[in-house]
Amino acid sequence: MNKTVSTEIISTDNKKSILNINIRDYTMIIALVFIWIVLTVLTDGFFIGSRNLSNLMRSISVTSALSLGIFLIIVAGHIDFSTGSVCGFIGAIAAILNVWLGWGTFSSIVVALFLGMVIGFAQGYLVAYQKVPAFIVTLGGLMIFRGLLVGVTRGITVAPLSASFVAIGQNYVLPVIGWIIAGVAVSAIWVLELRTRSTRLKYGFSVSSFKIVVAKSILYSGIVLLFVAIMNNYRGIPLPVFIIMLIALSLAFVACRTQFGRYVFALGGNIDAARLSGINVELTTMVLFVVGGFMSGVGGIILTSRLNAATTDAGNMYEFDAIAACIIGGTSIKGGAGTVIGVIVGALVMASLDNGMSLLNTNTFWQHVVKGVILIAAVWFDINAKNKKI
Q: Are 83 and 147 in contact (CB under 8 A)?
A: no
| Sequence-separated contacts (24+) of 246-249 with Cβ below 8 Å | 247/65, 247/68, 247/295, 247/298, 248/64, 248/68, 248/340, 248/343, 248/344
pLDDT of residue 3: 42
pLDDT of residue 386: 62
The pTM of the whole model exceeds 0.85: yes
**Tens of each residue's pLDDT in the chain, 390 residues:** 444 444 333 334 444 434 344 455 567 778 888 889 999 999 988 998 899 999 999 889 999 999 999 999 999 989 999 999 999 999 999 999 999 999 999 999 999 999 999 999 999 999 999 999 999 999 999 999 999 999 999 999 999 999 999 999 999 999 999 999 899 989 988 888 888 888 878 777 777 788 888 888 898 899 889 999 999 999 999 999 999 999 999 998 888 888 998 999 999 888 888 888 889 999 999 999 999 999 999 999 999 999 999 999 998 889 988 998 998 888 888 888 888 888 998 899 888 888 888 888 888 788 788 878 877 877 777 677 666 655
| Sequence-separated contacts (24+) of 172-180 with Cβ below 8 Å | 172/235, 172/236, 172/237, 172/238, 172/239, 173/236, 173/237, 173/238, 173/239, 173/242, 174/236, 175/232, 175/236, 177/236, 178/228, 178/231, 178/232, 178/236, 178/237, 179/228, 179/232
Residue 208 vs residues 1, 15, 23, 212: alpha-carbon distances, Å: 18, 10, 15, 6
pLDDT of residue 2: 45
Burial 121-137 (b: 16+ CB within 10 A, else e): ebbbbbbbeeeeebeeb
Residue 65 vs residues 54, 257, 339: alpha-carbon distances, Å: 17, 21, 14
Helix (H) or strand (E) holding 304: helix 281-307
For the domain bounded by 2-171+239-387, which CATH number is listed? 1.10.3470
Helix (H) or strand (E) holding 114: helix 105-128
d(CA 60, CA 355): 10
Domain boundaries, the chain: 2-171+239-387, 172-237
pLDDT of residue 114: 97
pLDDT of residue 371: 78
